Copies of this chain bind each other. A is one copy, B any other.
């Protein structure tokens, strides 16, 4: 299902990131970074929620608005019951919708908001996501303090929050279209290899997007997935070639861009709902503003991983949603 937009723009965006991202290759692109995992709060969960509030607060300043000017707040995160989003929404007091498609949540939110902006049902919307390494690890695997060893295919959950301000004002980056993905489950059960879980969902959504828009893969200056990691990225390339005969050339994965996977202790790269938008709203938007990329397809990938269902020996379903981002034509 692909939606076409004529009047939807990300007028501005904001990014706040954690201590590992602060030492990563994109460190100079974020609006703010935290030196530790607590960001002056008492617990990791409260820190994650605070990060959403910080990113929204920075965004409001950038667009010169207050929370009273905002029609809708859409947010999601990895935590059970979306607590980071809920507690941030409680403090923000903007009409709120919680969304969850794991690490595809960012683009899910952008598509819902874009549809409403395009049809003039709302005049603006803030779409946020967050993730936090320590809250995610303890919820999905083990507390970080436990120090268990992990295989190299593991990804390292990104810490931070990214927010985007959408309206029909022609400035910033254009959202040209959005593709809602289907849930894909090829039977992978390895909770330490989310790249393998998600690559087929990414492929399915890319193919759907190209079919629906009648485009060739070369239409885009770059296709970005997130967050497959270095192994998942290779699986996607291989899968696209063997299944669909498509060579992914101008392609990268945000999980491999947010960290230096050779030098930082992050296994196969970043992950979490914040990973793809942290890279896109900072580094990629910067490239677009400099006209180095005119057309970008962002494919956010989510592993719908549940420890409960994995314990019941079920495989892990995945989903991917895509948006086409364009530099505004003069």
Contacts and interface: CB of A to CB of B under 8 A. Distances in A.
Interface of A: 1, 3, 42-43, 45-46, 71-72, 76, 79-83, 86-87, 89-90, 92-102, 108, 111-112, 115-116, 118-119, 121-122, 180-185, 304-306, 308-309, 312, 314, 317, 319
A80 B80 contact: yes
A95 B182 contact: yes
A86 B183 contact: yes
Contact of A306 (B81, B95, B304, B306): B81
Nearest to A88: B183
Contact of A96 (B92, B119, B180, B309): B180
Contacts of A304: 81-83, 86, 90, 98
- How many monomers of this chain does the complex have? 2
A308 B112 CA distance: 29
Q: 5 closest A-B pairs (Cβ-Cβ)?
A: A119-B119, A1-B95, A95-B180, A90-B183, A86-B304
Contacts of A97: 99, 101, 108, 111-112, 180
A199 to B, nearest CB: 16
User: Which of A99, A181, A319 gathers most chain B CB within 10 Å?
Assistant: A99
Contacts of A108: 97-98
9 contacts: A1-B71, A1-B122, A46-B312, A81-B102, A87-B317, A90-B184, A93-B182, A95-B181, A95-B182
B80 A181 contact: no
Nearest to A2: B95
B119 A319 contact: no
Nearest to A138: B308
